[in-house]
Structure 1
């Protein structure tokens, strides 16, 4: 993936301190996931970024540890708050109010480089929202209504799965890939996770936009570059390896955690289990902060 009725703004304050200089601790961790109006001066935005977001009807933001998540005003505030909790928990898995890896936070907390967007309507997003935002902000990883819900009734488990997928994509591509390129790089095929993707290719992994011998692509598009294919593969590996259910599975991807475990190389298992890399090792609780 790439990312109702409007709800009132339910949450009115957020942590706006620089995570590299003044990380929240203790009770202050409760402020990390709060939602702010985009107009609120406490958000770490330049005037031109704030103006672009407001002109695009991205009227609410959260900024866990300084990482921007901005939502269309038709996205329920509770859905934005859920995305903020997922992001915060992935960055602070022991929920002590301090990010587990300051270098990764620094890499993903500059909206000039990348940010998380929660658009509501696909046509609006492509035709007039995104063009203005691209001029003032960096690369957008989207968590859109049309993936979370589509034309169906809201399914809370699907909403969670889509949010988790896109935030893991974001952190892998712009955080871990930048800080630990030998292990998590996605710009070429030399990293541990990239080599694992190639090893699995057409064996137990095929992105539906890519071709395999005797198994042509099932969807339009092209996800053959490493910054797409590796990111998609690793997200499914990471999520399923801790016992969570991916939002979708690649062609041939294992159905169970046990089957996946038997197919992965010892190399990628070592990287995923190395404490200093702070990869997800147990299911998310979705309750940040659980103090």
Structure 2
């Protein structure tokens, strides 16, 4: 929802070349229906000027600081946006909510919401169907617009789950000025990373850890292990962006590139344009969470349950990558930079995302490395891994994250 109020990078098409003061005025008008007082105007305009805050962090502050009738109106706007978000329940509807015209439609709807409004009385289905009818697009057009549009599906989820982009003073990460806290785990972004990519990554992390989206992590042992290991995720725009991380924190940070973070994949499912956040964030969770919480089961060393399963999948226990894998192998990772521990991380990623359906259309791309790309193939071909990843005591996700964490707490 924050982005639907104009606080995203993509909103430049609607905000144009506004001054910092005009941007702040627009945000206040859209959120509270009024202009800010002089002190607030100068304060927030100054924050935009020195780069210490962005439009989305200002919007979050305005939300959090609302009182009285302002607070009631904000709550009603959130309720309307959540109901609108729920109504975007098909790929066609999500794709139709793309581009400036669609954003204006929601803005106009939200502009009518005040302290007496009731979300239940608003007709979202008709509004969305009009968008669908007016915005029939080819697959190519959909692919282009979904990634560049303001998406209430992503941004409103961030607001309702308190996955807000904030500034911070975390030791070692001072030069990565934006952060989202996900159950105590930091997701940081370098300069130039699109705000919607940061929000998407945070939502994916939240969905992996709270897969039933009830506001409570599914496996507290795993989250505690991640936090204790100091593990974080860092989004970068250019090679070397994360080198500014200091005080030894760099080695705890899982890399995730801006261009490889693709929220649009969850609409278009293009096999070659995969959303890498599904991979890199899961790597951090298994490597720094499950491996430490259950060292004899998921530990990244020889002799653990998952390592024994992997040795079968690779056709033998290969501490070093063999010149050629046995014909019996269905997992044949060949990256020379990946040691035995890394092989286990990748093995768990391939197994779980195949079970969750992420790899179903990608066999032609991944087949040389991983052959069992569906839940059925993992269950029948690699029963040891399937049993581990579907054992309820470990609380692995049972549905694939799509970047729309929906807890409404």
* TM-score using structure 1 length: 0.72
Size of the aligned set, in residue pairs, is: 246
SS at match of 2:166: strand
Contact 1:65/1:109 (<8 A) preserved: no
| 2: CA distance, partners of 1:82 / 1:251 | 29
Aligned to 1:34: 164
SS at match of 2:275: helix
Q: Deviations over 1:164-217 (max 9, x none)?
A: 10111001010011111122111x1222211111111159xx9xx9434278x9
Greater shift, 87-96 or 249-258, is seen at 249-258
| 2: CA distance, partners of 1:179 / 1:274 | 15
Q: Deviations over 1:125-145 (max 9, x none)?
A: 3xxx42642535651111023
| 1: CA distance, partners of 2:367 / 2:338 | 12
Aligned to 2:56: 10
Are the structure 2 counterparts of residues 171 and 220 from structure 1 closer, same or farther at C-alpha, using a change threshold of 3 Å?
Answer: closer
Contact 2:158/2:405 (<8 A) preserved: no
Aligned to 1:23: none
Greater shift, 165-174 or 97-106, is seen at 97-106
Alignment of 1:177-196 (within 5 A): 177-186=291-300, 188-196=301-309
| 2: CA distance, partners of 1:236 / 1:84 | 21
Shift of 1:230: 0.5
Contact 2:183/2:206 (<8 A) preserved: yes
Aligned to 1:289: 406
Aligned to 2:338: 223
* Root mean square deviation, CA, Å: 3.4
**Alignment partner of 2:217 out of 99, 103, 107:** 99
* Structure 2 stretches lacking a partner, 5+ long: 1-7, 11-53, 62-156, 327-331
Alignment of 1:96-245 (within 5 A): 96-110=214-228, 113-122=230-239, 124-125=240-241, 129-130=242-243, 132-133=245-246, 135-136=248-249, 138-145=251-258, 147-148=260-261, 161-186=275-300, 188-202=301-315, 210-213=321-324, 221-226=336-341, 228-245=342-359
* TM-score using structure 2 length: 0.53
| 2: CA distance, partners of 1:239 / 1:29 | 27
Higher helix share: 2
Contact 2:372/2:381 (<8 A) preserved: no
**Alignment partner of 2:194 out of 72, 76, 79:** 76
Shift of 1:263: 1.1
| 1: CA distance, partners of 2:305 / 2:333 | 27
Contact 1:114/1:137 (<8 A) preserved: no
Aligned to 1:254: 371
